[in-house]
Structure 1
Amino acid sequence: MKISIIVPTHNRMSSMLTLAEALNNLDYPDYEVIVVCDSCKDDTKKELEAKYGQQENWQILEVEKAGPAKARNTGARLAVGEILAFTDDDCIPDNNWLQVIRLNLEGNPNIVGLEGLTYTYKKEVTPLTHQIENLDGNPAVPTCNVAFRKSTFEHLNGFDETFPYAHNEDADFAWRMREVGEIVFVEEMKVCHPPRQESFSKMKSRMKILESEFLLYYKNTNLYHKYRNTSPWITIYWEVFFYHQIMNLKSTFKYFFKPKLFLGGLKLIFYWWIDLILLFPKYFASNFKYQKQFQS
């Protein structure tokens, strides 16, 4: 089975080059790598072309202001593999990643997708890092470690590019895919997502992405009830505002004797609480907009 690996990237040259080296040395006989550079202002494309541009199984593209959904769809349209494998530019797959994907899809036509185990380096996690850990499956099926049959991907028209932020386009696609076939969690399909240091300014504005909850809800109301919650308001103001922030507060106290991390974590939680209050009018407008769009 030929497999096409698709990676969207945006101004993360260092981690992208680390990933590229891992992808280039995967233990699998027939695969291609498609990297979609989305508005990269650094030298990501230049460095990738210098190292891998002459290899027949590598394609390095450039798009402008696409966002991850459109970037992934762009790569998928050019893919020639029967299977589309997705990962992110700050991840590192295990060497047998593609072998495991093949073993779990070959001869199993009812399985249309695979969700792999994503792990991180827990000792490097701080309140100011971003990382993904998925040890036993997630209804949203994070796209840092997934594989789909291309035929099914095309049947569903890929990722929905209308989501306003890079959030929930993966959940939307996974939920739609589960309506036509089975997505299986495979523990042996491993990808590492090392903790990534984020700027404080970027992290404090993260709550704006929750606007995507309303599009996800009105587009897939029954599936939202099935996989997430009774409403986006419950998700935002119960789960995120209350439960998640209490959990964040609890974990931040582990850094009590590291004042910079401890105070940074507290400050971040405070900003998120304030932002969730200030964003209420925008959420309300989005709720009205998508309700009108999908219920008219």
Structure 2
Amino acid sequence: MNPEFSVVIPTYLRPTLLMKCLDALSRQQLPHNQFEIIVVDDGDDRATAEIVQSFREVFGIEARYLAQAKRRGPAAARNRGWRAARGRIIAFTEDDCMPQADWLPAVLPSFKRGAQAISGQVRLTNARQASVSRSNGFMDKAELSSANFFCLPAVLQRVGGFTEDFDIAWREDSDLQFKLIRAGIRMGKCPEAVVTHPIRKSHWNNRLREERKYSYDALLYKRHPELYRQRMGHERNQVLEYYGAVFSFITGLFALLSGHSFVGASGLAIWLLLTADLLARFWPKEQLTWEGVQQAFTTAIITPYLSIFWRLHGAVKYRVLYW
């Protein structure tokens, strides 16, 4: 008899975090024969394989380990997982998430009433004490997050699953959401289905390094131009602010060097105003230290240039004009 759920977890060289996720799944308020767990390892890591095997032996829950031959990203790992699944409902989460005990039972009534796709609630913890990455920072606000998403296999088959051209953890969820919308498939909400996502401490310059992810926005726009314009309004406004900061600084600097003092002063004044707005966004949320202030200033000044560079990089790579 096939299980009710297949829980798909992509992972990459994070066996300790995966162990905590599996431990949380072992507490599901559902008979163990009603769900299976499929761990897809994008790193073909022996320690990860041993953790899955040990979990299966200790808890008696069907848990399968699938290793990717080479690293292809979380979208490809999820696709391999759901295509190997036997459950009536596919449940996606991440290796660094901890589903609450009623996570799976919470969505059953909706699917029994005919739901085809359900998005749960992601709760971030420790967000104020850590430097939050772009992926994690959007996770609890996204309409669809693969950290907490349920879907019928037939629906995934219909839309082609996750698009594997998104080969890092960025925009693959938005792409899937847009494919569901274009296919006319309604995605329901189940706020009672909760996973917690602890935010780990990371280096302050993580925000700067992650600007490279924005090159994939070009791919998302190329695939879904109308939905991108409709659904990405807030981020498009932020991009305009970045362009304004870069343009005003370059214009002001060259104007001053060319002897046009009024134009130069005006351009640099606009740059200062826009940079001050960014500085307020990156200002330390907790304990105020001189180091934290320096880091905020550095991030506010450099971010617009990095963001625009990577967006232009994506535009060239995917051969599309967008903003």
TM-score (norm 2): 0.77
Single out whichever of 55-64 and 85-94 deviates more from structure 2.
55-64
Task: Answer yes or no: is the 8 Å Cα contact 2:121–2:194 preserved in 1.
Answer: yes
Alpha-carbon deviation of 1:46? 2.5
- Name the structure where strand makes up a greater proportion of residues: 1
Distance 1:32 1:235, change over 3 A: farther
Aligned residue for 2:198, secondary structure, equals coil
Task: Answer yes or no: is the 8 Å Cα contact 2:130–2:200 preserved in 1.
Answer: no
Alpha-carbon deviation of 1:240? 6.9
Match for 1:250 among 274, 281, 286?
A: 281
* Structure 2 residue runs without a partner (length 5+): 246-273
1:143 alignment partner AA = S
Q: How many residues in Structure 1 have an aligned counterpart in Structure 2?
A: 283
Q: Give percent identity, aligned residues only.
A: 20
Q: What CA deviation, in whole Å up to 9, does each residue of 1:6-33 have, x standing for no partner?
A: 0101122221111110112211120000
Separation of aligned partners in 1, 2:276 and 2:153:
38
Alpha-carbon deviation of 1:284? 3.7
Separation of aligned partners in 1, 2:242 and 2:57:
43
Aligned residue for 1:18, secondary structure, equals helix
Match for 1:94 among 100, 103, 118?
A: 100
Q: What CA deviation, in whole Å up to 9, does each residue of 1:83-127 have, x standing for no partner?
A: 11111111111100000111221122xx321111111225x5245
Distance 1:98 1:44, change over 3 A: same
Separation of aligned partners in 2, 1:11 and 1:225:
36
What does 1:76-87 align with in structure 2 at a 5 Å threshold? 76-87=82-93
Aligned residue for 2:117? 113
Distance 1:254 1:278, change over 3 A: same
Separation of aligned partners in 2, 1:226 and 1:15:
36
2:314 alignment partner AA = Y
Separation of aligned partners in 1, 2:137 and 2:275:
15
Aligned residue for 1:2? 4
Aligned residue for 1:274? 305
* Structure 1 residue runs without a partner (length 5+): 292-296
Match for 2:35 among 15, 27, 31?
A: 31
Alpha-carbon deviation of 1:236? 6.4
TM-score (norm 1): 0.83
Separation of aligned partners in 2, 1:245 and 1:142:
32
Match for 2:226 among 218, 222, 226?
A: 222
Largest Rg, 1 or 2: 2
Q: What CA deviation, in whole Å up to 9, does each residue of 1:249-296 have, x standing for no partner?
A: 335243462444444444344442331244354134135x246xxxxx
1:156 aligns with 2:187: no
Task: Answer yes or no: is the 8 Å Cα contact 2:217–2:311 preserved in 1.
Answer: no
Aligned residue for 1:138, secondary structure, equals coil
Distance 1:251 1:201, change over 3 A: closer
Separation of aligned partners in 2, 1:218 and 1:192:
33
Task: Answer yes or no: is the 8 Å Cα contact 2:52–2:64 preserved in 1.
Answer: no
Aligned residue for 1:65? 71
Alpha-carbon deviation of 1:218? 1.6
Alpha-carbon deviation of 1:150? 1.1
Match for 1:195 among 191, 194, 199?
A: 199
Separation of aligned partners in 2, 1:239 and 1:35:
41
Aligned residue for 1:294? none
